[in-house]
Amino acid sequence: MLSQSRLLHSPLALATRHCAGAAVGTPTSLRATSLKLINAAQMRVSIQESTDYRRSGELARQVLQQLRQQDNPHTHFGFGLNLFHHGLQSATRALRNGENEELVVMALLHDVCEHTVPSGHGPAAALVLGPYLSEENRWILENHEIFQGYYYYELLGEDKNKRDAYRDSPYFDACVRFCELYDVPSFDPDYATEPLSTFEPMVHALFQRKPKQQGACSMME
Ligand SMILES: [Fe+2]
Ligand SMILES: [Fe+2]
């Protein structure tokens, strides 16, 4: 009969513990079980694994998976395309208009949070992508909802010019342009849209950029 110690260190037991912790190869002693008890070595492991998550491409894959979730009959919200195809069409228009990769990816993912954060999806997307974007593009993402409102707020009995509150921003005109050229017209089922595979390498390249700090502190390098 195996001793308790040998059972605890058997290949099966070790594999089970590694599976429970997601990444492989890190001893359980280096995994914090409470933030009240975390030590410097465990903190280094946390930062390293968060960084590896991004550098390995897993973060980009997860964001792309979030986009694929929108290829769903429930995300048309009354329009001619669901959110997934709306993103693809926005990105296709940006690509064909000669925009740089950063803007093309932004067009692809500008509504990537809309199926889970319908109101406030602009700021939500800005949190996801902002660390990898120029400040202008981050601002456009964050505020595009209210700029889009120019085209439909009146139908809701609201002021279509709410965006005018941002007239002093150096990014005002760029946000108007992004909406007008890429977001507004991209619900057309008859437009020949590129497949997601056209844009996947661009998404991966964006998330390989070293992220700018966002929030109180950065847990990723
Ligand atoms: Fe949007
Ligand atoms: Fe949109």
In tens, the pLDDT along 131-178 reads: 999 999 999 999 999 999 999 999 999 999 999 999 999 999 999 999
Query: What distance in angstroms lies between residue 142's CA and the mean position of ligand 1's atoms?
Result: 9
Query: What distance in angstroms lies between residue 17's CA and the mean position of ligand 1's atoms?
Result: 41
Token pair of 173 as six digits: 């005109």
Q: What is the pLDDT of residues 42-64, one digit of tens each?
A: 999 999 999 999 999 999 999 99
In a domain, 38, yes or no: no
- CA 39-59-106 angle, to 5 degrees, is 130
In a domain, 138, yes or no: yes
In a domain, 1, yes or no: no
* Ligand lying nearest the CA atom of residue 107: 2
Q: How many CB atoms lie within 10 A of CB 216?
A: 6
Phi-psi category of residue 72: left, alpha or beta, with phi > 0 → left and psi -120 to 50 → alpha: beta
Residues of the domain holding 154:
58-207
Locus of tokens 């319908």: 118
- Reply yes or no on whether the pLDDT at 13 is more than 70: no
Query: What distance in angstroms lies between residue 165's CA and the mean position of ligand 2's atoms?
Result: 21
- Reply yes or no on whether the pLDDT at 69 is more than 80: yes
Query: What distance in angstroms lies between residue 141's CA and the mean position of ligand 1's atoms?
Result: 8
Q: What is the pLDDT of residues 178-197, one digit of tens each?
A: 999 999 999 999 999 999 99
* Ligand lying nearest the CA atom of residue 183: 2
Locus of tokens 């429930």: 74
* Ligand lying nearest the CA atom of residue 142: 1
In a domain, 142, yes or no: yes
Please name the helix (run of DSSP H) or strand (run of DSSP E) that holds residue 122, with its range, or none: helix 121-129
Query: What distance in angstroms lies between residue 4's CA and the mean position of ligand 2's atoms?
Result: 58
What's residue 24's pLDDT?
A: 64
CA–CA distance, 70 with 86 (Å, rounded to integer): 10
CA–CA distance, 53 with 60 (Å, rounded to integer): 9
Query: What distance in angstroms lies between residue 89's CA and the mean position of ligand 1's atoms?
Result: 13
Token pair of 158 as six digits: 């609201």
Query: What distance in angstroms lies between residue 68's CA and the mean position of ligand 2's atoms?
Result: 15
Query: What distance in angstroms lies between residue 119's CA and the mean position of ligand 2's atoms?
Result: 12
In a domain, 203, yes or no: yes
Query: What distance in angstroms lies between residue 177's CA and the mean position of ligand 2's atoms?
Result: 13
What's residue 8's pLDDT?
A: 37
**Which CATH number goes with the domain that contains 131?**
1.10.3210.10
133: which residues sit within 8 A by CB, 6+ positions away?
A: 102, 106, 141
In a domain, 93, yes or no: yes
In a domain, 112, yes or no: yes
In a domain, 133, yes or no: yes
Which residues hold their Cβ within 5 A of ligand 1, which is an ion? Answer: 111
Contact 147, 172 (CB under 8 A): no
Number of domains in the chain: 1
Instruction: Please tell me the pTM assigned to this model.
Output: 0.86
